[in-house]
Structure 1
Amino acid sequence: MRIGVDGRNLGSATDGIGRFVHRSVKALSALGADVFVYAPGQINPSYDIPDGVALRTAGIRSLVARALWGQTVLPSLAARDEVEVFWGPAHRLPLTLVERIARVVTIHDLVWVHAPETMRARTRIGERLLMKPALRRADMVVTDSNATAAALETEFPWLRSPIRTVAPGATPLPAPGGFSGLQPIGITRAYALFVGTLEPRKNLRNLIRAYGLLPESARSACDLVIVGGSGWKQTSLADEVRLGGLERNVIFTGFVDDGMLATLYANCLFLAMPSRYEGFGFPIVEAQSFGKPVLTSNISSMPEVAGDSAILVEPNDPTSIADAFGRLCGDAQLRQKIAVGARRNAERFTWENHARGMLGIFEQAAGQRRRTAP
């Protein structure tokens, strides 16, 4: 099968969708698919694209020119390459493709619907303008979770394309180091861990406030370590920590490499991720792959992804978060009980499973297009 893939997110090594596309392309190629990747700019050199994957890139930098390229040059390249299916892995499809090419789009989340105030205006407007046309043109729609599939059906009752759920894979991290390896980043005591971009959707302000509600005895036994690069509208988090008198207990590491991330997961007491909304939630799976229990929210996809190896909280209620946080900090038996099935749950999410699921969907979409195209 000849599969065309929109690869515009592959320009950045820190783009979450870029990493998703990279891993998907590798897994599809490993299963024998003929993959053609189209990108307006150069692929980031950190992405090792398999030799069998055809790259069609340009040197376009401006946002306007990239958008025009996606609606003009990309469709002509896909037609020339005689792809059978075109896959938009991130909420977008070209407005025009030749009739014989099947169209599949993946929708990772509906943040712009459920938590628009947590998004940059430019991103929110882009989602509003471009997601609906993609949904109308798609032969099949793919979501990362059943929660997102259900939300699509509710929000877009006019949607006629079949919706299928194919969970993404979680990329294995390197072997971790011991606890002493954390001293260079200021970690010397037991800790709970948050991992993710520092942005409003991650609910860090409520997490810090919840931590501040704990008695001093609980905080002295369990620091809070916040790992991730700065997003937007989170410059006041340090003020939140200072006003709560939590400077000795809350540690911001910034972005860390995969080796340090693995060490952080392996040595934490639990993951604390009470997000306001998630289309999937990779840190949940990553923490569970190290056998760790998870504190996460009782909404959107998080209960589905975490399975039974988590305590669920109301993300808008700091008291609810604090109660669960305190229990997990102080009760080793509870942590052990919750974590019993953590590794087994994480094993569900592999890139090979994702690629096999996507190939089945591509075949269905191509078959449907062959039957209906003139």
Structure 2
Amino acid sequence: MSELLVNLSMVFSKPTGISNYALNLFPFLNNLNPTLLASQNYPDFKCYQIPNNLTPAQGSKGHLRRLIWTQFKLPQIYKEFSAKLIFSPLPEAPISANCRYIVQVHDLIPLRFPNIKSPLTNYFRYVVPQVLKQAQHIICNSESTAADITNFYGISTSKITPILLAHDTNHFQPNSSKSNPSKPYFLYLGRQDKYKNLHGVIQAFADLANHQNYELWLVGSKDKRFTPTLEIQISELGITNQVKFLDYVAYSELPNIISNAIALVFPSFWEGFGFPVLESMACGTPAITSNLSSLPEVTGDAAILIDPYKTPEITAAMQQIAEDKEMRSQLSLLGLKRAKQFSWEKTGLATVELLKQFI
């Protein structure tokens, strides 16, 4: 018997945003004596083995299998354990079964940037409203996302608690093992979806004065939907030799790559939180990011905020950082100070206090 079930069905071996959140959070739930619904075993926790083919690693098939598992198998597990609550680190939960649950909402990107062909857009239009309506409570990762939940779904603010996310403070630090890249480089870190505004990053880099003295490193898994058009843009701008696609980079390598960059350039059109910006600040690397959505909540005054829809603003910020060593130093110090305000312990303890109220 376990009163709390923690749904880790989305976790896989190359974790990005939501998986990282789940993996960093659940260790702090130990006091609640939960059972983890997971495809692998985690020492010191009770685990219930579930299939390992329900994750984003299997693409849309993984999403579909997880949706079916959530609606039909998860209620059976809930009854088997006589559970009182499910905690799901994303907005997925059984909607036709009599299960009590709390879900985490990271963003409403599929509604802000809808794609009629995408199953995700339809999921957020037709399923997520039901999930959130039936939830005991909703956790989200920023005030910005809380406002979106209310504006898009009409859900009362009293049912929503924003709890800011964090970074691994032992991992993301200024890296002393400095490498010597052939040229100073600007860094983008993340997926290649259109709303991430990589086209803007690439154009802004090409518009830099003396851009031939720099490189642009794009870190994140290649995506057959988006990468080819980015490669065409790079070729047409004549900067192929200066732009590096690093694909997915192992977690262990990230602090070194971030620490050695001249700046992170992350002018996303919208973010629920924005891990790369926080990780950059924690490594002492200046960040250029958007003045929209949750990003100002994360950065405070410790980054250069630009309008992502105005590419010349991105270029100007990059130029400023490239030419002004004193500004780089100042942003580095401000970023380090700001990053210290975030920790998984703080996020975890706040989440535990909330879950306790509903068990």
Using structure 1 for the length normalisation, give the TM-score: 0.85
What residue in structure 2 maps to residue 36 of structure 1?
A: 35
Q: 1:338 to 1:58 in 2, by over 3 A?
A: closer
> Residues 119-158 of structure 1 correspond to what in structure 2 (within 5 A)?
121-158=118-155
CA deviation profile, 1:217-265 (whole Å, cap 9, x unmatched): xx24432211111133231212211111112322222222223221111
1:330 to partner: Cα distance: 0.9
Residue type of the alignment partner of 2:177 = G
> Residues 99-248 of structure 1 correspond to what in structure 2 (within 5 A)?
102-117=100-115, 121-159=118-156, 162-171=159-168, 172-173=170-171, 176=175, 178-180=177-179, 187-216=181-210, 219-231=211-223, 232-248=225-241
1:148 to partner: Cα distance: 0.7
CA distance in structure 1 between the aligned counterparts of 2:284 and 2:226, rounded to whole angstroms: 33
**Is the CA contact 1:208–1:241 (under 8 Å) kept in the aligned structure 2?**
yes
1:304 to partner: Cα distance: 0.8
Residue type of the alignment partner of 1:173 = H
1:210 to partner: Cα distance: 1.1
CA distance in structure 2 between the aligned counterparts of 1:209 and 1:93, rounded to whole angstroms: 41
> Residues 326-345 of structure 1 correspond to what in structure 2 (within 5 A)?
326-345=319-338
CA distance in structure 2 between the aligned counterparts of 1:110 and 1:158, rounded to whole angstroms: 14
CA deviation profile, 1:127-185 (whole Å, cap 9, x unmatched): 222211111011211110111111212222244751111122212437746343x6xxx
CA distance in structure 1 between the aligned counterparts of 2:254 and 2:43, rounded to whole angstroms: 26
Alignment length, in residue pairs?
348
What residue in structure 2 maps to residue 371 of structure 1?
A: none
1:286 to partner: Cα distance: 0.8
**Is the CA contact 1:297–1:314 (under 8 Å) kept in the aligned structure 2?**
yes
**Is the CA contact 1:190–1:268 (under 8 Å) kept in the aligned structure 2?**
yes
**Is the CA contact 2:93–2:131 (under 8 Å) kept in the aligned structure 1?**
yes
> Percentage identity across aligned positions?
24
Residue type of the alignment partner of 2:163 = V
Tell me the secondary structure at the aligned position of residue 105 of structure 1.
Answer: strand
Q: What is the root-mean-square deviation of aligned Cα atoms in Å? A: 2.3
Q: 1:214 to 1:135 in 2, by over 3 A?
A: same
**Is the CA contact 2:35–2:45 (under 8 Å) kept in the aligned structure 1?**
no
1:299 to partner: Cα distance: 0.5
Tell me the secondary structure at the aligned position of residue 328 of structure 1.
Answer: helix
1:15 to partner: Cα distance: 4.4
Which region of structure 1 is more displaced relative to structure 2, 168-177 or 108-117? Answer: 168-177
**Is the CA contact 1:25–1:35 (under 8 Å) kept in the aligned structure 2?**
no
Q: 1:123 to 1:158 in 2, by over 3 A?
A: closer
Residue type of the alignment partner of 2:88 = G
What residue in structure 2 maps to residue 298 of structure 1?
A: 291
Provide structure 2 residue ranges, at least 5 long, that are not aligned to the other structure.
55-60
Tell me the secondary structure at the aligned position of residue 128 of structure 1.
Answer: helix
CA distance in structure 2 between the aligned counterparts of 1:335 and 1:33, rounded to whole angstroms: 44
**Is the CA contact 2:208–2:319 (under 8 Å) kept in the aligned structure 1?**
yes
Q: 1:52 to 1:260 in 2, by over 3 A?
A: closer
Using structure 2 for the length normalisation, give the TM-score: 0.89
> Residues 14-29 of structure 1 correspond to what in structure 2 (within 5 A)?
14-29=15-30
Q: 1:5 to 1:205 in 2, by over 3 A?
A: same
Residue type of the alignment partner of 2:3 = R
